[in-house]
Chain A
Amino acid sequence: MSARPPFEDLYREYLTRIYGYVYAQLRNSAEAEDVTAQVFMSAYKAYDRFEVRALTPSAWLFRIARNAVYDHHRRTQVRERTEHRLRAELPAGFDPAVVAEDRVLFGELLAAVRRLPDRQQEVVALRHRSDLSFKEIGDLMDCSEDAAKMLYHRALKALREMVPK
């Protein structure tokens, strides 16, 4: 039986990566912090039951993170619909915090990623923020390895068209 690493090691190694994955799918750093905290709270409680044989720590944590993001989306759906309506009435692109973040490096690229369909956003974030293989990403996203690869390459193709060279 493989030895389980101390939870603290997992925490140090994956906190930034999980945060990056979560942040890329939510709108701001405060929400990303809340969800990241939930991920590690859940992982901490369940760590005694985690078996390294069944899943790598990375796949296990990203599965928890994925579920936490979905839960968050479900909880905030109603609120977001209202916010979106309000935003639509304001001049485009003038949420000050978003403007500030978007003005800073990679703003255009992140904005383009956020315009991708949800599953494409997710596969790009998993590919670049986790150390999971396409096989593991496919398992996580309930599709085959080939389907995960195709989804990823479609996302890249769409991004190339969106982001000016």
Chain B
Amino acid sequence: MSDEQDELERQLAAMYGSIRPRAGFEPDLWSRLEDQRPWYRRLRALRGRAFVLAPALAVLVLAGGFVLLLTHTGFHGGTGGGGAATSSQVFATPAFGKLPAPPGATLSPASKSAVAYSGAVPALPASAPVYRQPLTSETQLAIAAPGTQATSSDPVVAAKDFLARNSALPSYPYVIFIDGSDVVFSRQFQVGAEQARLVMADGRPYGIRVTLQNGQPTRASGPVDQPLAEAAYPLRSAGQVLQPPAPPGDQYSAALNSVEVVYVVVPAGGFVYYEPALLFTSGGITRTLQPAVAPQFLQQ
């Protein structure tokens, strides 16, 4: 099999692997299936699982008692500087459930895209917001205006004017990138002390994208400037972020020397999620992206 074919098959596997239903679909459909089951069968299934449920109930009762004890003794725990283990107790039920992982993202040291990293370690807070927006025609900008005259020879100025004329210039903080013949207004989010820009899983900037042809803006697309739903999620600790080097002979291993805290856009089902992540690069070339959200809150 040629290398080219191998790479194409790897991309296909990653692409199909990235197709997932929305977060709530699995429990929703399961409860519909359960509703179809006659009551006596449900009872039988419950009896069959009694041996599993009993210890779980016991743990719940014990945990409940422990929480009651802490409440009554006035213990409130420490704040600040908590790692993922502490924060995962606080975030027992994050609002969006388990998040879809960015396509192709590294989830474990055994992953093929594990890398050796030799740069500075970013200081991540114990938690950060994850944002979510429905993926509908109302939340996606789509302006087509072929034949529009450019107001400036500077593509950034021309793109800004184009958006302003169409009442689509974003009001949120953004950073501008030139991506081929496109000008991208990449939204920025605060993560601890850092401003994190929005990227796609391959590291390219994501946001309102104005396409220019021969210097003239012809179209704009991307997420509409609307308030986003948000939910706090615990992050990995710095030690969890930096994985051990790839196994010898791993074709994707690379020595990386720079890391940036970003937000990565992850489409899943009917939503687009913006999730904190770390973008590892070598000489300015994106090599791998790793979710910053604690692994137990990501779908595998």
Q: Which residues of A does B touch, CB under 8 Å?
A: 7-8, 11-12, 15-16, 19-20, 23-24, 29-30, 32-33, 36-37, 40-41, 44-45, 91, 94-97, 99-101, 103-106, 109-110, 113, 124-125, 128-129, 156, 159-160, 163, 165
Name the one of B4, B21, B200, B202 contacting A160, with C-beta atoms under 8 angstroms: B4
Residues of A within 8 A of B222 (CB): 100, 103
Task: Tell me whether B178 is interfacial, beta carbon within 8 Å.
Answer: no
Q: Which residues of B contact A33 (CB under 8 A)?
A: 21-22, 25, 269
Complex CA distance for A77 and B144, rounded to whole angstroms: 29
Cβ 8 A contact of A40, one of B33, B136, B201:
B33
B140 touches A97 (CB 8 A): yes
Which listed residue, B18, B29, B135, touches A37 by the CB 8 Å rule? B29
Q: In the complex the two chains form, is B36's CB within 8 Å of A44's CB?
A: yes
Complex formed: what's the CA distance from A110 to B11 in Å? 10
Query: What's the nearest-Cβ distance from chain A to residue B88, in Å?
Result: 22
- CB within 8 Å of A: which B106-159 residues: 135-137, 139-142, 144, 146
Which 5 residue pairs spanning A and B have beta carbons closest together?
A96-B140, A106-B15, A96-B142, A20-B19, A100-B140
Contact mask for chain B residues 201-227; partner A; CB cutoff 8 A; 1 contact, 0 none: 110001001000000000101110000
CA of A12 to CA of B5, assembled, Å: 31
The answer to the question of B16 belonging to the interface, with a C-beta cut-off of 8 Å to chain A, is: yes
> Is B47's CB within 8 Å of the partner chain A?
no
Contact B32 A37 (CB under 8 A): yes
**How many pairs of A and B residues are in contact by the CB < 8 Å rule?**
124
Scan B1-22; emit 1 where CB is below 8 A from any A CB, else 0. 0001100110111111111111
Counting chain B CB atoms within 10 Å of each CB, which of A16, A44, A103 scores highest?
A103
Contact between B16 and A128 (Cβ–Cβ < 8 Å)?
yes
On whether the beta carbons of A16 and B200 are closer than 8 Å, the reply is: no
From the candidates B22, B103, B144, B223, name the one contacting A29 in the complex (CB within 8 A).
B22
Could you write out 29 A-B pairs with CB less than 8 Å apart?
A8-B30, A19-B20, A20-B19, A29-B270, A33-B21, A36-B21, A36-B29, A37-B32, A44-B36, A45-B36, A96-B140, A96-B141, A96-B142, A99-B142, A100-B140, A101-B135, A103-B200, A103-B206, A104-B267, A104-B272, A105-B15, A105-B103, A106-B11, A106-B15, A109-B12, A109-B15, A125-B16, A128-B13, A128-B16
A160–B20 Cα distance when bound, in Å, is 25
Inter-chain contacts of B104 with A (CB < 8 A): 105
Establish whether residues B20 and A16, one from each chain, have CB atoms under 8 Å apart when the complex forms: yes
Residues in B neighbouring A45, C-beta threshold 8 A: 36
B265 within 8 Å of A (CB atoms):
yes
Distance, CA A20 to CA B16, complexed state (A): 6
Q: Which residue of B lies closest to A160 (CB)?
A: B8
In the bound complex, CA of A7 to CA of B48 (Å): 14
Contact A104 B265 (CB under 8 A): yes
Known: A15-B26, A97-B140. A105 touches B18 (CB 8 A): yes
Extra 7 A-B pairs, beta carbons < 8 Å, given A44-B36, A160-B5: A41-B32, A44-B33, A94-B142, A97-B136, A99-B142, A100-B135, A165-B4
Who on chain B is nearest to A124 by CB?
B12
Chain B interfacial positions (CB closer than 8 Å to A): 4-5, 8-9, 11-22, 25-26, 29-30, 32-33, 36, 103-104, 135-137, 139-142, 144, 146, 200-202, 206, 209, 219, 221-223, 265, 267, 269-270, 272
In the complex the two chains form, is A16's CB within 8 Å of B15's CB? no
Whether A110 contacts B135 in the complex (CB less than 8 A), given A37-B29, A156-B9, A160-B8, comes out as no
Could you tell me the distance in whole angstroms from the C-beta of A35 to the nearest C-beta in chain B?
Answer: 11
- Please, how many angstroms separate the alpha-carbon atoms of A107 and B26 in the complex? 24
Residue of A nearest to B2 (CB): A160
CB distance from A78 to the nearest CB of B (A): 23
CA distance A124 to B19 in the complex (A): 14
A24 vs chain B, min Cβ distance (A): 7
Question: Whole-angstrom distance between the alpha carbons of A2 and B8 in the complex?
Answer: 38
Given A96-B141, A103-B209, A160-B4, answer yes or no on A40-B29 (Cβ-Cβ < 8 Å). Answer: yes
Given contacts A11-B33, A125-B16, A100 and B269 within 8 Å (CB-CB)? no
Q: Say whether B221 contacts A99, CB under 8 Å.
A: yes
* B269 proximity list for chain A (CB < 8 A): 29, 33
With the chains together, A69 CA to B192 CA distance in Å?
47
